[in-house]
Structure 1
Amino acid sequence: MAGRRVVVVGAGVVGASVAHHLTERGFTDVLVIDARSEGTLPGSTGLAPGLVGQLSSDRDLARLAIDSVELYSRLPGHFHRVGCLEVATSEAGMSGFAADVDNGARLGLDAQVITTSEAAVLAPGLVSDSAHGALLIRDDGAVDPVAVTAALIASAREQGAQFRWNSPVRQLEEQNGRVVGVRLDSGVVRADTVVLAVGVWGPTLASTVGVQVPMLPVEHPYAFTVPSEDLTAEPITMPIVRYPEHAVYCRTHGTRYGFGTYDHEPVPAAFGATAARRFRDKVFEPALTKARKLVPALRTADVEKRINGVFALTPDELPLVGPAPEVRGLWLAEASWVTHAGGVGKLLAEQLLGLSSGLVDPARLAPSRFAGWTAERVAKASLPHYRGIYLTH
């Protein structure tokens, strides 16, 4: 890679992670370009609730999350290891926890089954009175996605990366089957390698050189309550709480509760628009109402703010990390959550530099695994994963 310039499009948490890992390994000819002003992250990163759950039914997703936590933990004060409670409201829900404990042990994660009363002590107000028990994953936690991104940007910049703000990329530049740069309003920026790390904007840019990014954007509701006298101003004061049987999750944000739900018909989104969309009352409000009935602290708390954020699904729930198969010089770091962004950035940087840590088999995340798929096939295979996004077994 000596003497070869890498341009990363997107300065959200994924793009910042790529730049951090490249420069940390001594490669400094990195330019990160973003349409926004520095410190402004209204995209998917800025909308993310910041939950970092490491236990997953997919071993590689778990490894990416564990590696991300290791990175975030090296950024002082940015990862809050408060744990996560998976609450079961039936004996059937409880029955899967034994496998989760075993899976956690194999991954080096501390997971144990606890009683409802023990869970309620850890997360007062967030454990349903219909709970049968819970799985406590002690190593999980939460981050402030904007703060983590800023820390990664600062690290990359200190190690030699450059950043260009307020510079929308209008299209990719191609010559003889190779991407050779990006076009801005001010002209073309040349590059030997272009990395797309722009989330739901990725397919629009990739299409300018005839590349289809195999992912489906979907809309998702999240809500914040008014301040509660029961909470302190600390960013998060108790474990994240999830209800896998109900597709509901919740956490504290300082003096407010935050909660989201997947218990509604999935809503595919259009590519290329903002990551924040108009809130869909008819689809989302009934699901949020059900979630509030489930969680005691939410039953009487007024909702202060509702958001509709967009994230991307793939046909196998795994991110898209690696070279685009259709053209040379274009790499993707797409369809990644904050949960996995640290590991995704590391994996992509290592591939670009010809290194290998053995973190994940690159072939499992390679965009080429869906080569030849139509957009319709990608959407049909991706959409069923919406509700099951947090399943651990």
Structure 2
Amino acid sequence: MRRRPRYSTRCCLRRAVVTATTRTAAGSMIHQSDLPRGMTTRARRYLKDGIALEVTNRTPSRFSGGGGNPTAAIYRRLIPHNSSSNFETPALALWIFNSAGFVGDSLNRNMFVSLFCALRKVSAEVKKWRPAGADRGFTFLKYNLTIAYHRTNLLARYGRWSGGTSGILESLGYKDGYRIDVDIPDGTWAAAPRFHDILIFNTGHWWWAPSKFDPVKSPMLFFEKGVPVTPLLAPDAGLAMVLRHMVSFVEKNARKKAILFFRTQSPRHFEGGDWDQGGSCPRVQPLSPREVEQLFSIENNGTNVETRLVNGHLYRALRGSKFQILDITRMSEFRADAHPSAAGGKRHDDCMHWCLPGLTDTWNDLFIAHLSSIKGRH
């Protein structure tokens, strides 16, 4: 029988603390001292397979807020300075829609699980199923509301490629690699735009993954209309092409009144090397603005540089589109303390995903605030 990985409750609780400060658009720091009403769900941690388990034991102080009470510290929230919502429940904004689909990599799954936990608190009657090819999905029967997660690493269809005896790529010396069809959506989500009323997309981490797409042994080979793109593209140029095609595909195939979001890149916080080079994230406090720039500045070209590079391509691709941008990057760059780290159940530190409860709850706060404003306009 497969053994379940062991998790440190103390570590997960410590790392789940949400710092009671946030940067507003103007750059000032706002302190939120009051705990929101209704946030009484017990602490949960995010597992590899996307299931949230409850943590029932408590850890004594060493927390930065809540008078030494870890539960109080955990339920401090990051909120926009000018928001009138108290975020007591996302259900209030979601019930007017029938379905919401998260499309993307495991960071969108992280956000999806956070939302599921919040909705599960409101409604216990849940049907588990996989709508429109989803990796997982749930319908809250009392309200006929479905949320689903569609797993896709690159948004575009891709798979292993092996060369033949002749062809464009073979003539350039390529024998193996990964074929990415920039104009064909991954089958895991191709039907999602016709099914969901709300769509939340992301992509990014896999585009800077040399352990998967080794530029020499297993390079990314881009195809458009079934033909190799030449001259060969670097991954960032391929990302730009994929974004352009996928945005167009969604806009053409989405439901008439669908609400489209694209979430910005979730930052990683590896220090001392990448995940497979001994990198770790041992911090127990958020970063200072100076530390953020050291870790994420494009000029420094560090381990986590892809965060802002991806966002640059994303903003350009979405300019003039029907998509709304859900910008979670800046607030998340500070939260080097909010990852599972050594408690992630892996052989290496997990400095990419986020503990629950924690930062992804805040992402959903912002998502719900957007929906609330849209509901008000309609």
Q: Which protein is richer in strand relative to its size?
A: 1
Q: One fold, TM greater than 0.5?
A: no
TM-score by structure 2 length? 0.28
By relative contact order (CA 8 Å, sep 6+), the higher-ranking structure is: 1
TM-score by structure 1 length? 0.28
